[in-house]
Amino acid sequence: MALVSRRSDGIAGEVRVPGDKSISHRALMIATQSVGETRIAGLLEGADVMASAVALRSLGADVSRQPDGVWRVLGRGVGGLAEPDAVLDLGNAGTGARLLMGLLSTHPFASFLTGDESLCRRPMERVMAPLRPMGAAFTARTGGRLPIAVVGAQDPIPGSYEMPVASAQVKSAVLLAGLNAPGVTSVFESRSTRDHTETLLRHFGAEVWSEAASNRVGCWISVRGQPELSPAPITVPGDFSSATFPLVAALIAPGSELGLAGVGVNPLRTGLLETLREMGADVVIENRRIDAGEPVADLRVRGGPLRGVDVPAERVAAMIDEFPAFAVAAACAEGVSRMRDVGELRVKESDRLQAIAEGLRACGVVVAESDDALVIHGAGRPPAGGATVKARMDHRIAMAFLVLGCASETPVAIDDADPIHTSFPGFVDLMNGIGARIAEVPA
């Protein structure tokens, strides 16, 4: 289904976005490794997380939604998953596929993983490399792509791995593999990435610690293997990454004021807030609290002029999923915005550097793209718009351009709204409820 977004008269109201995707995948997976019943409130019921739930059921875990909307997982203990009868299809979910590969690599059976066209294009060698020395074997398509057969270790070996790319998915895959290996498994990261896996593992009673390296910049993160994990209730916070779409809409549509309740504000995720503030955005964080180890807060944002900014390379990991939303803000800002060291964006759900550059150009914005950088020339007012942008099976590209349409002079359309369901069910209704004008394009 194609959608079109017309200029809004202002974004206003109080909303709550769906649960955090990263935490939802982890909550389900880690709960299966505990002994007993875990109750998860606020789980994201988007297609990505549902694919993880189905895969975990195929692996013998009892995962169900209760009538009150709380999810219940009956854990099987560390290393307790069972060989699945059928292929595990993770759909569009990179997090689901990579974290599950970690978990499965120390379970002593064979499983076969696949995904949709977008996921089958994404690089998986980055997770297989650290898992082989732990005893797992993989058969992958050329280029280390899905579908992939995983044969888990009979006698898992604890891992020690220095990550060449800053990736929370790789780190988490190794730590989850380490859960069922005797002894200590450690991962080195030179730049901090989201730490939801560490936080949740601790929440379930695992021993997880991090130590700064003595001889260079970075941190070793370790887990002691084969713990007995105890179920602990979880409330999943609202997804900061999802919140950024209505938030940026409110920033660029004149006369807006928006409240977002119960949003996860883990500092390893909220790099975009710092960037937006440097651009002059009025965003206030209220009612900070901690839930299941994760910082949560309410956000209040008021529309106003933005200026161009340089995103420091050290902040890229903390806003890795927010570049599509950021690009929309940059396109409306006064002056030039630059992002460098963002080559990782080429291997997300789509090649996001290309998708952003092409989409913005079609909307009348001057953009320069190189291998791992993007420069956006903002004119100090929303661009012309008037284009149909390809969503490329990428939820965040689809949502970002609908947000641009909330402010652009003429409407912005996307050719396919389907990918939005992977992370943000109810996006269109939520946006229209606060003043957006998003509608189906008649066939």
Q: Minimum distance from CB of 87 to ligand S3P (Å)?
A: 23
- Which residue of the set 298, 321, 371, 394 is catalytic? 321
169 φ, ψ (degrees, to nearest 5): -70, -40
- Give the span between the Cα atoms of 272 and 317, in whole angstroms: 10
Q: Minimum distance from CB of 195 to ligand S3P (Å)?
A: 10
Q: Tell me, what DSSP letter sits at residue 406? A: T
- Whether residue 75 contacts residue 229, with contact meaning beta carbons closer than 8 Å, is answered with yes
The reply to whether 395 sits near ligand S3P by the rule CB under 6 A is: no
The reply to whether 270 sits near ligand S3P by the rule CB under 6 A is: no
Q: Which is nearer to ligand S3P, 44 or 134 (CB)?
A: 44
Which residue has 């219940």 as its token pair?
A: 72
Residues constituting the chain = 443
The reply to whether 22 sits near ligand S3P by the rule CB under 6 A is: yes
Q: Which is nearer to ligand S3P, 22 or 118 (CB)?
A: 22
Contacting ligand S3P within 183-202 (CB under 6 A):
194
Site string for ligand S3P, 45-84 (x = CB under 6 A): ----------------------------------------
The reply to whether 28 sits near ligand S3P by the rule CB under 6 A is: no
Q: Which is nearer to ligand S3P, 71 or 323 (CB)?
A: 323
Site string for ligand S3P, 164-183 (x = CB under 6 A): ---xxx--x-----------
Give the number of other CB atoms < 10 A from CB of residue 252: 26
- Give the span between the Cα atoms of 53 and 102, in whole angstroms: 16
- For the question of residue 155 being annotated catalytic, the response is no
Q: Which is nearer to ligand S3P, 129 or 336 (CB)?
A: 129
Choices 161-169, 228-236, 375-383, 412-420 (CB under 6 A): range interacting with ligand S3P: 161-169
DSSP notation for 280-311: T-EEEEEEEEEETTEEEEEEEEE----B--EE
Q: Which two tokens stand for residue 170?
A: 């790789």
- Give the span between the Cα atoms of 218 and 221, in whole angstroms: 10
DSSP notation for 366-381: EEEEETTEEEEEEESS
- Total number of residues binding ligand S3P (CB under 6 A)? 9
Q: Kindly compute the dihedral angle of the four CA atoms of residues 434, 288, 30, 66, in this order, to the nearest 10 degrees.
A: -50
Q: Minimum distance from CB of 346 to ligand S3P (Å)?
A: 12
Which residues are catalytic, by number? 321
Residues that bind ligand S3P (CB under 6 A): 22, 95, 167-169, 172, 194, 320-321
